[in-house]
Amino acid sequence: MRMVLLGAPGSGKGTQAALLKQSLAVPHISTGELLRAAVAAGTPLGLQAKAVMESGALVSDEIVLGMLEERFGRADIGSGFILDGYPRNLAQARALDGLLGRLKLPVEKAVQLDVAEETLLGRLAGRAKAEGRADDNPESVKKRLTVYQEQTAPVIDYYAEHGTLVRVPGEGTVDEILARILAALR
Ligand code: AMP
């Protein structure tokens, strides 16, 4: 299965992707994780991305696409993949289609996790305490939700137009949501 997982910050993409990785036996590719690893390693790319990520804005399309091309160069994606955190805008959605078209590994399903805004805010506040992520402070959270509405939400329509979109309610227990996603993939 080659899928992208869509949803607002706090919608549970990371949690579900980790479980789907086990169920589907395919790699989980998170652009946020790749970027956080680059920041932690202090690479030139990480140094460039750090402040932008902390502010809650998007890192440049060029940087993220370069990182993704490198990741998609690895052989393990032949079995499929769960892409989490990408695409974040329409230009990225088109770039991804270009890249995967060249690799002859097009996206089969785009799963949108639908979660109410109050739930997102509650989950992000909880995560800020539990994980201490630099971009889970109140100002960055606000910015990330605005960026999501303005730039990322249009990506849902993009996949609807391509006939690959499925929408899944992202509220309930982790297991209930996982079962819904697996059912939607069938
Ligand atoms: P995430 O872990 O997916 O919530 O991503 C954390 C942060 O990494 C985002 O707020 C962005 O600053 C950056 N980021 C992750 N994925 C992308 C992407 N596809 N395009 C641009 N920036 C990204």
Task: Name which residue sits closest to atom 15 of ligand 1, judged by CA.
Answer: 32
How far, in Å, from the CA of 179 to the mean position of ligand 1? Answer: 26
Q: What integer pLDDT is reported at residue 128 of this predicted model?
A: 81
pLDDT bucket at 154, cuts 50 / 70 / 90: very high
* CB of residue 6 inside a 6 A radius of ligand 1: no
Which residues lie across from 29 on neighbouring strands? 83
Stretch 39-57: mean pLDDT, rounded?
A: 95
Amino acid identity at 140 = S
Can you tell me the distance from the alpha carbon of 129 to that of 115, in angstroms, rounded to the nearest whole number? 21
User: If DSSP codes are grouped into helix, strand and coil, which group holds residue 156?
Assistant: helix
CATH class of 2-27+74-185: alpha beta
Here the tokens at position 46 are 């990480």
Can you tell me the distance from the alpha carbon of 35 to that of 31, in angstroms, rounded to the nearest whole number? 6
Which DSSP state fits 60?
P
Task: Name which residue sits closest to atom 19 of ligand 1, judged by CA.
Answer: 86
Query: What are the residues whose beta carbons fall under 8 Å from the beta carbon of 16, sequence distance 6 or more?
Result: 5, 113, 174, 177, 178, 181
Task: Name which residue sits closest to atom 1 of ligand 1, judged by CA.
Answer: 32
* CB of residue 56 inside a 6 A radius of ligand 1: yes
Q: What integer pLDDT is reported at residue 16 of this predicted model?
A: 97
Q: Which residues are catalytic?
A: 13, 88, 127, 133, 144
Q: What is the pLDDT of residues 97-121, one digit of tens each?
A: 999 999 999 999 999 999 999 999 9
In this structure, the number of other CB atoms found within 10 A of the CB of residue 40 comes to 10
* CB of residue 17 inside a 6 A radius of ligand 1: no
Which DSSP state fits 150?
I
pTM here is: 0.94
How far, in Å, from the CA of 32 to the mean position of ligand 1? Answer: 5
154 near 142, Cβ under 8 Å?
A: no
Query: What percentage of the chain reaches a pLDDT higher than 70?
Result: 100
110 near 93, Cβ under 8 Å?
A: no
pLDDT bucket at 176, cuts 50 / 70 / 90: very high
Q: Where are the domains of the chain?
A: 2-27+74-185
**Ligand 1 nearest atom to the CA of residue 57, by list position:** 12
Lay out the sheet containing 81-84: strands in order across: 28-30, 81-84, 2-6, 109-114, 165-169
Is the CA virtual torsion 137, 122, 119, 173 positive or negative?
positive
